Structure 1
Amino acid sequence: MKKYLYSSIFLLLTVGFASCEDYLDTPVPSIDQYTYFSNDQTALDALVGVYDPMGWMEYIQYLDWAIGDVVSDDADKGGGGDSDQPQMLDMEKFRATPETPTFSIVWKQLYIGINRANRVIEGVTDNNNVSAEGQKRITAEAKFLRAYYNFCLIKVFGAFPIVDHILAPSEFAQPRNTLEECWAAIEKDLKDAMAFLPHKKDMPASELGRATWGAAAGFLTKAYIFQEKWQDAEPLAKQIVASGDYDLEKNYGDLFTIATDNGIESVFDVQKKDFKMTQWGDENEGSMIEIYQRSRDARNGGWGFNQPTQNLYDEFETGDIRREWTIIKDGDVLWEGTPDEEVIYTNYDPVHNPDAPKVGYCKRKGTIPMSQRPDMVDAAGLNVRVIRFADVLLWQAEAAVHNNSDWKTPLNRVRARVGLGNSPYASDPLKAVYHERRVELALESHRYWDLVRTGRGNLMPGYTESKRYFPIPQIEINLNPNLTQNPY
């Protein structure tokens, strides 16, 4: 393990990031480590630094969808051919290695987030300079964020070294904990966070984007689902549903717009905003996903990655409007009748789109109109929907199938939003849930993990159970001989 991952990272060399108006938007002042936590405000300023790695490019803006969509059967890599992002092609073909560059960057960045969370937790705990209520709220948020970063690690790499405090030099070379210990640490942090986080409906608009009770409960439900703890998952999902904090957006097509960032269906968004900055990199606090996945045709100006497969296209039922809001066909017209009206081209064109496949699709979710596109390619102001209410309803349905309880009510609530009745797979409840998850959440970075956690990895050519988790970065093993490699 790299020593600096656990050292006293300077938390506050970041800017706030969010689509809200106050809390996470505020540039963080420079404060040395000795005055981090001299009062509630400095503790809150430090907390912004814990949120910041969540939005950095390499995980949420790249690896999460590269694995969740492209490695799965929902999408192909796309882009400008095999030489364009070859590491993504290697992941898609299940031939990634410990030298794959993005793995080492993600490992480092996630541990930066964990270290920052630990610094805040230790800085405010039993600190008389911070109010009792401030200690509870800030510690709860930091524990939620630590659980989030740990969840990202366990999804990609499996078991990892648990770091729940600022390490002494003698502790730098930790071995990996067991999977069970890692899940237990995630669960504990989320439960602790739930105890002191507010409900979304009780938060002022200026604080939207911060962690909530529902966000922590949502990730805890997801942890139960990943571990097949059905008896725990169903009642917690039902509790979220009954909380009154969330509902389905009335119109499915409104889900992936800047206008619905942190909206009624958002259980947790990673916050993105275009600050109209001129430099390249994470300092922008915006997103690269939109340009990564917009059509590569010169008339549309994107890079053409994460192209939906025919297999995904065919999964949608006749009359399911979610297909048109998920997948763009060649010649589709978006924002028709507005100044942003645009024809999207996805097919091969030797003049405008020479890198496209002969027949292709593009992802519609997250494609934003020209008037909202940023000047810098990495600065789109559209949040990343990490957990939304439909996801919770479908977790409830999946757990209910395993518990022999009512799975139809939550599933049909999702279907009713788009005008559909009973599932065509109602005689096979698990198939009905799996189908609904695929079409409802398509191209939202879920499919790969849904397949492997449910024993359906064989639907991805080249997959074997030994490839469930991706390789630990070799540079980390070189630095820490106590780390063991995954059998990839």
Structure 2
Amino acid sequence: MKLYKKIKESSILFSVLVMATTLVSCDKDYLDVGVYGTPEVASFYKTPTDAEQGLTAAYSPMREMYGRENFLASTSCSLLFGDIGTDDLLKGGARSNDGPQLFDKETYSLTTSNTAVEAIWKVNYKGILYANLVLNKVPDIVFTDANRKKEILAEAHFLRAYYYYYMVYTFGGVPLIDKVLEQGEYDTPRATKEATYAFIENDLKAAILDLPSRFTKPTTFLGHADKGAALGLMMRVSLYQNKMDQVKTYGEQLFLMPYVLADFSTIFRQEGEWNSGSIFEINMSSNANFLGTHMPNMMTPRSKGGIGFGQIQPSLRNEFEPNDPRFAASFYNVAGGYGTEWYNKKYSWAPYSNYSKPTTGGNGNSANNIRVIRLSDAYLMYAEAIYKNDPGTAVIYVNKVRKRARGTQPITVVPDLPALLSGDALRDAIYHERRVELAGEGLRFQDLIRTGRAKTILGPLGFIENKNEIMPIPISQVQLSKNILTQNNY
């Protein structure tokens, strides 16, 4: 793990810490903090203020994966790279070879030198390092507020789990690092996929135990991981392992909290940030260079000043039932240009949403928060977990989502599922609901992998079973490890 060594040896810049503080602020304004000098790790992590700044740094790679400052990372994120090559997203762009790292994903011709794959590895291990610094250093800091110290450590556990979750579904088992490595410890072999998931679950259990609920905190807390975020991520981690009993258990804990489904038409608008059905978001700000998200620029048509990636496939558009209001809230059409000419409205700027086109930091510095986990996703995960043993309750939870989708329209629009629906018909209805409710949110590829449908649905697109479920380990990392890291089937 020479990459881990390189990051450790670099200083933690105060400018990075202050830049990231906007991500955990409700109004996204700067904190009035003087910034001088370049502290080293050895002289840092001495005070509660250091602990807060170190924690903020640990959030920064989460934002970087969708952010303005790292173009390769933002093309590698789940919203684009994750679902390109599925029946949901076409790569798009200006031509077939625009964005070669994405073209490789779309055509299932990934190589070990793909730059998007390497960005995923680097950015997430940077996040793991920063989380480990908090977990290793903060216990020795004296706090007057012991409860806040527990919360900081719990947030760091959540962050480390989040980064490893991103790694395990991308690469399978990866090196597990739970401390700041010293000389001679850098070349760490891969753990198994099962061990990696167990590590993630242990971190999330620690986070769930000590995290507060955002509903008990002031609005300035928004952007921090809370108990609901940890429960929601544990549901998803359990779902990806087909541990349906765990999905049920953690879902029932989550549903005790006062989340409520919000009007779908507002969820991805400015007023929808941290709405009543939002479980976790990544805060973005466009009031300074590199603090915003690159996603709207990536997904906006080239004729409208964007890049035109991640266009909506006909198969996804055809999945929607007639008059489903979510269709118009999810997609928009701009004629003239390469690809399908249909785009993701969930991450857009004016006139397709009420997020303003950026005026600071370039087109890729938008203020749109990244919606990571939503209540409707949790409801559908829960329904999938219980549909075999408790189909009646599963139908109730799917119908919660459908009723909210219908809104004030007649009951014939997105009608309720029949109360007695069960078996494969209910399972398929849940799959359908996930696809239309979560369209363009980066979950389709993993849903097809975990449910065993990838070969049938993605095979005609080039998907190869027992290979393309995960990505190649970057060749640069294999070489840095002196071949201690074993390669996937590439």
Whether these two folds match at TM > 0.5 is: yes
In structure 2, stretches of 5+ residues that fail to align are 407-413
In structure 1, stretches of 5+ residues that fail to align are 278-283, 330-344, 349-354
1:275 aligns with 287
Deviations 1:65-95 (A, max 9, x none): 2233212110101110122101101101110
Alignment of structure 1 residues 53-452 onto 2, 5 Å = 53-56=61-64, 57=67, 58-59=72-73, 62-128=76-142, 131-244=145-258, 246-249=259-262, 251-277=263-289, 284-297=290-303, 300-329=304-333, 345=334, 347-348=335-336, 355-357=337-339, 360-369=341-350, 372-375=356-359, 376-405=362-391, 406-419=393-406, 420-423=414-417, 426=421, 428-452=425-449
Distance 2:439 2:186 in 1: 40
Identity of aligned residues (%): 31
CA gap 1:362/1:9 in 2 versus in 1, 3 angstroms: same
Q: Larger deviation: 56-65 or 460-469? A: 56-65
Distance 1:422 1:160 in 2: 43
Distance 1:45 1:148 in 2: 19
* 8 A Cα contact 1:412 1:422, kept in partner: yes
* 8 A Cα contact 1:272 1:381, kept in partner: yes
SS of the equivalent of 2:338 reads coil
SS of the equivalent of 1:373 reads coil
Give the letter for the 1:415 counterpart: R
1:280 aligns with none
Distance 1:230 1:304 in 2: 38
CA gap 1:426/1:327 in 2 versus in 1, 3 angstroms: farther
Structure 1 residue 421 displacement after superposition: 2.4
Q: Larger deviation: 185-194 or 19-28? A: 19-28
CA gap 1:454/1:397 in 2 versus in 1, 3 angstroms: same
Alignment of structure 1 residues 39-58 onto 2, 5 Å = 39-56=47-64, 57=67, 58=72
Structure 1 residue 32 displacement after superposition: 3.8
Give the letter for the 1:317 counterpart: E
Count of residues paired in the alignment? 455
| Residue 474, structure 1, aligned to residue 480, structure 2 | no
Q: Larger deviation: 404-413 or 196-205? A: 404-413
- 2:451 is matched with which residue: 454, 459, 474? 454
Distance 2:229 2:29 in 1: 17
SS of the equivalent of 1:194 reads helix
* 8 A Cα contact 2:26 2:223, kept in partner: no
* 8 A Cα contact 1:6 1:166, kept in partner: no
CA gap 1:7/1:37 in 2 versus in 1, 3 angstroms: closer
Structure 1 residue 25 displacement after superposition: 4.6
Structure 1 residue 197 displacement after superposition: 0.7
SS of the equivalent of 1:328 reads strand
Deviations 1:421-477 (A, max 9, x none): 223894511101100000000000110010011101121121123210000000000
CA gap 1:399/1:9 in 2 versus in 1, 3 angstroms: farther
Distance 1:50 1:185 in 2: 18
Distance 2:264 2:109 in 1: 36
CA gap 1:177/1:19 in 2 versus in 1, 3 angstroms: closer
* 8 A Cα contact 2:76 2:82, kept in partner: no
Give the letter for the 2:321 counterpart: E
1:2 aligns with 2
Give the letter for the 1:182 counterpart: T
Give the letter for the 2:319 counterpart: E
Per the normalisation by structure 2, the TM-score is 0.88
Deviations 1:151-193 (A, max 9, x none): 1111111110001101122211111001111001100001101
Q: Larger deviation: 123-132 or 211-220? A: 123-132
Per the normalisation by structure 1, the TM-score is 0.88
Structure 1 residue 211 displacement after superposition: 0.7
CA gap 1:483/1:36 in 2 versus in 1, 3 angstroms: same
* 8 A Cα contact 2:28 2:285, kept in partner: no
Deviations 1:104-162 (A, max 9, x none): 22211111111111111111114335642232111111111111111111111111000
Deviations 1:293-318 (A, max 9, x none): 11222xx2222111111111110011
Give the letter for the 2:307 counterpart: W
Structure 1 residue 59 displacement after superposition: 4.3
Q: Larger deviation: 173-182 or 361-370? A: 361-370
* 8 A Cα contact 1:19 1:25, kept in partner: no
Deviations 1:335-362 (A, max 9, x none): xxxxxxxxxx2x23xxxxxx424x5312
CA gap 1:185/1:50 in 2 versus in 1, 3 angstroms: same
Give the letter for the 1:85 counterpart: G
Deviations 1:371-402 (A, max 9, x none): 71102112100111011111101111010114
Give the letter for the 2:60 counterpart: D
Give the letter for the 2:184 counterpart: S
* 8 A Cα contact 2:143 2:149, kept in partner: no
* 8 A Cα contact 1:326 1:442, kept in partner: yes
